[in-house]
Structure 1
Amino acid sequence: MGASARAWVVACAILVAGCSTGSGGTGHEAARTVVALGDSVPEGANCNCEPYPQLSATALSVPGTRQVTATNDAVGGYTSADVLAQLRSKSKVAANVAGADAVDVEVGANDVSYDKSCGNSTACYEGQIPKLEQNLAEIVRRVHELTAGHQVLVVLLDYWSVWLGGQYAKEQGAAYVGAADEMTDQVNGIIKKTANDTGSAYVDLRAAFKGPDYAYDETRYLSDDGDHPNAAGHEQISAATVDVIDKTLHLGG
């Protein structure tokens, strides 16, 4: 087991541990809190559905044993700099994180959002990548700073596409699809690297939406804007997140 997996097991134990029992054998329901940070994806934009942070909390709850609730502090349009500013301020968001058992972070797509002046020239966006890497590492560091004194699970989620996806991307032409794939590679690479470097959990949403070889069309998981997940997409993200927990902690065994 690698360092990241070991850290995941230790931190996640506080979230998924069963109820404790006293000498008389009477258990009590353990309360756990998940805070979601990031952009319009965890916020649930253009879905009119329950977003994945809440779905995951429900899936992790066990009646009479463990109650997991979600506080969704994600904001549409947010970049990594915006999330870092949330955590650095003396705000309700920082207070929510300070009391959290787990923090989901999905941010980065807006750092390299499609710009008509840049078009499909990936070189035009690449200058944002180092700042994203710096901010994401600082976000994780700040979460741990705010939660000093108790263990916290940090979950970093990536993207199926940082621009339009599925058939909506194909309608923009082959050059757009190629550029979107390249920028998604770069952003997701930073997210995965940060997870490895910081001992955080990593959820590969590109695989969740497009299959292990990234070969499937993800249109069925997208809302009609081609950018945000629909209800099925949020269910898929939730399932992928909970699956990481199950496989790592062998909850079904």
Structure 2
Amino acid sequence: MRHRPRSVYRAMFAAALTVALAAVVLQLRTDALRAEVITPVPRPAPALARAAAPVAPEPSAATPTAPLPPLHVVGLGDSVMAGTACNCRTILSRFAQSLAQREGRTVTDVNLGVAGYTTQDVLSQLTDDPGTRQDVQKADIVIMIIGANDLKDDFDAWLHGGCNSACYQPDVTAMQDRLVSIIRQTQALRAGQPTTILVDNYWNVFADGDVARAQGGQRQLDWSVAVTTAVNSAIAQASAQSGARTVDLVHVFKGSGDEDPTSLLADDGDHPNAAGVQAIVAANLAALG
């Protein structure tokens, strides 16, 4: 067997070593590339996932509000408040209906008017009658039409010989004092609660229009206007003194004061007809504001 020279073996070893080193380097580079590929890159969460948290809803503009509490209206007074001779719905009933339509809320009404009542009678109602007191205690609005019957004896005196201002003025003054007491008693029953008190005056405390002219002519009309002017002045003073509001019915029935009110009066010439009632209702609604 022939032996190869040592130089040949050294060359073969060097070549093998070179191949081995090249393989190692190639493996290291491959591993490095793989490491770069599999390293995860953080990404932001999808927009839909970020919006998944609960959001409070915006208040709806259509959400219904709580209904307003009912308004309670009470009427105090004489035959005008009671509805005598009209054969129609009363002032208070129509007022309550009109107010409910205007305000969009429930309105209840209690009419305590009684034909023939004087200021003394109404004052007694407020001090002695439990039912009246209870009704007034609940009243947000009180309408008063009272005082004409306090002058009844003066009309009788005029028919039987005359009754000038010295004759009727003491009765007017006494009526005013009692009206102040009526208003204050009403306020006391309300015990400081917000209350609107409307006190209507009179177009005439006696008959007017065609009926009055047929009864006593222009002389009776002139005298009744003088008495009514005194009564209305007393009503205005009593209202102002007590914090109530006066509702002027002279303007409603007679314009500037000299117009014929017959078209607004019942057949007796002393009480309002349906048109007159509606005119009174409108005046009170306007005074209410």
TM range (shorter): 0.7 to 0.9
Deviation at 1:52, TM superposition (A): 1.1
CA distance in 2, matches of 1:64, 1:239: 14
| One-letter code aligned to 2:288 | I
Asked if 2 retains the 8 angstrom alpha-carbon contact of 1:156 and 1:191, the reply is yes
Deviation at 1:74, TM superposition (A): 0.5
| One-letter code aligned to 2:156 | K
- Flag the structure with more relative contact order, 1 or 2, with Cα contacts below 8 A and sequence separation at least 6: 1
- The counterpart of 1:144, out of the listed 183, 187, 198, is 187
CA distance in 2, matches of 1:240, 1:64: 16
1:100-158 CA-to-partner distances (Å, cap 9, x unmatched) read 10111110100002533332423332221121011000001000110104111111001
> 4+ residue runs of structure 1 moved beyond 4 angstroms?
none
Question: Who is 1:183 aligned against?
Answer: 227
- The counterpart of 1:55, out of the listed 76, 94, 102, is 94
| One-letter code aligned to 1:28 | P
Identity of counterpart residues, as a percentage? Answer: 35
Question: Who is 1:36 aligned against?
Answer: 75
Question: Who is 2:254 aligned against?
Answer: 210
- The counterpart of 2:273, out of the listed 223, 230, 239, is 230
C-alpha RMSD of matched pairs (Å):
1.8
Deviation at 1:210, TM superposition (A): 0.6
- The counterpart of 2:125, out of the listed 72, 76, 86, is 86
Asked if 2 retains the 8 angstrom alpha-carbon contact of 1:29 and 1:64, the reply is no
Deviation at 1:24, TM superposition (A): 4.7
Question: Who is 2:207 aligned against?
Answer: 164
Asked if 1 retains the 8 angstrom alpha-carbon contact of 2:157 and 2:163, the reply is no
Which is greater in Rg? 2
Asked if 1 retains the 8 angstrom alpha-carbon contact of 2:82 and 2:113, the reply is yes
CA distance in 1, matches of 2:121, 2:253: 26
Q: Structure 1 stretches of 5 or more lacking a match?
A: 1-22, 247-253
Deviation at 1:63, TM superposition (A): 8.2
1:33-73 CA-to-partner distances (Å, cap 9, x unmatched) read 11000100010001110111111111111389411121100
TM-score normalised according to structure 2 size: 0.73
| One-letter code aligned to 2:108 | T
| One-letter code aligned to 1:244 | A
Structure 1 residue matching 2:106: 3-state secondary structure:
strand
Q: Which has the higher helix share?
A: 2
CA distance in 1, matches of 2:202, 2:151: 12
Number of aligned residue pairs = 223
| One-letter code aligned to 1:61 | A
Tell me whether 1:199 sits opposite 2:243 in the alignment. Answer: yes
